Amino acid sequence: MPIDFELSKEHEEIRARARDVAARIIAPQAKSSDEERRFDPELIRAVGASGLLGGPIQKTYGGLGLDHVAQALVYEEFGKVDSSVRGFMAVQTGLVASCIQDWGSDEQKEKWLPKLCSAEAIGCYGLTEEDAGSDVASMKSRAVRKGDAWVLNGSKMWITNGTVADCALLFAQADPEQKHRGITCFLLPTDFPGFVREKMEAPELGHRGSVHARFRFENLEISDSLRMGEVGQGFEIAMSALDHGRVGVAAGAVGVHAACMDACIDYARKRRQFGKRIGDFQLVQKTLTDMHCSLEAARYLTWKAAWDKDRGRPATRSVSVAKLFATEAAAEACHQAVLLHGGRGYNNEFPVERYLRDIVGLEIYEGSSNIQRIIIARDLVGKDKTRHDQDSR
């Protein structure tokens, strides 16, 4: 089969649709939401009305049934104008709705997926804790079986959408001796007595149009019907959700990178020094060329990861490669964009300073760059079979 880098007609159509929504609905408020640190529920409902929040969800449940490549195009277009809205979508669509579609019961799918697709309901993903970020197996949240019910105790932090969410995927340890094999997932409404949500008040560096919360749950008694997946399957569920989310982060980084590229080209054409356009100076041309080459590489790595997922291939490595390269390439592009704009890039007269603040979050979210390097290296090297044989004796 020949290698074809052209998008299909359907992919081009969904990209155009996402670009239109981004321009009409999201872009006009991006600067003010950042300045005012404001999450806008009305904007989210408008995006929900466009249908794009349900991109990868089956049409049976109110989604569009998009493949992963098409969904990556949507993330890129949203990320190009507002990383906070793109981040909301990565949680709502990638971590929550897609995870419910993959692992939820028929009842859970029917109850939540149509509402998540339309933004009638907002979802959040409760995994991270004070002492359990990258080391998920060390989580201290506990789930104790009590007949046909569970009693949950613990806390979470850095939960995007947390204060506005109507439902939460909540992960807790049901059998500490089993470590990650004891983690269990629950899908529950957020209005249970004993479920306390508090906004994280310290100002964030970027993504200021998002909301981040701390959770505390004390003797939270819930029905076993709210468990998602089998007991002890929570780690597998969490990691599969992150594979969805990391493609969204990579594509969002490509969007930020592309926005920097556009801003720099426009500025290099208009800004004049020493009697000519700064775009005619060779060092500026080098910056633009390097930015363009890394953008192309990041975009194609992201499409490759999405393509692998669409074909049912093992995609963990390609997803991590895309997430690592795209976020770090975008971070360098943002840095160079601020430098190229000079003093004008150091305040919010131009959007490049917001891009620089936002991109740091993408390097951290859903597994930092160092975690992606560990994932990739372990996959390249493989397991030590000799040690495994010795350990099994």
C-alpha–C-alpha distance, residues 102 and 100, integer Å: 5
Length of the chain, please? Answer: 393
From residue 261, alpha-carbon distances to 159, 168, 275, 289, 351 in Å are: 31, 37, 24, 10, 12
Cβ pair 93, 54 in contact under 8 A? yes
Select which of 76, 129, 363, 366 is catalytic: 366
Contact 353/279 with Cβ under 8 angstroms? no
The DSSP element (H or E) to which 199 belongs, if any, is strand 195-199
For the question of residue 366 being annotated catalytic, the response is yes
Question: Cβ of 376: how many Cβ atoms within 10 Å?
Answer: 18
- How many Cα neighbours within 13 Å face the side chain of 294? 24
Q: Are 142 and 199 in contact (CB under 8 A)?
A: no
Paired residues of 189 in beta bridges: 167
Residues contacting residue 326 through CB under 8 Å, at least 6 positions apart = 249, 250, 251, 253, 254, 257, 298, 299, 301, 302
Q: Buried b vs exposed e over 122-155: b needs ≥16 C-beta within 10 Å?
A: bbbbbbbbeebbeebeebebbbeeeeeebbbbbb
Got the DSSP string for 115-132? HHHHTSS-EEEE--BTTB
- Rounded-to-integer distance, Cα 129 and Cα 120, Å: 28
b (16+ CB within 10 A) / e for 85-106: bbbbbbbbbbbbbbbbbebbee
Q: Which residues contact 329 (CB under 8 A, 6 or more apart)?
A: 253, 257, 294, 295, 297, 298
Residues involved in catalysis: 366
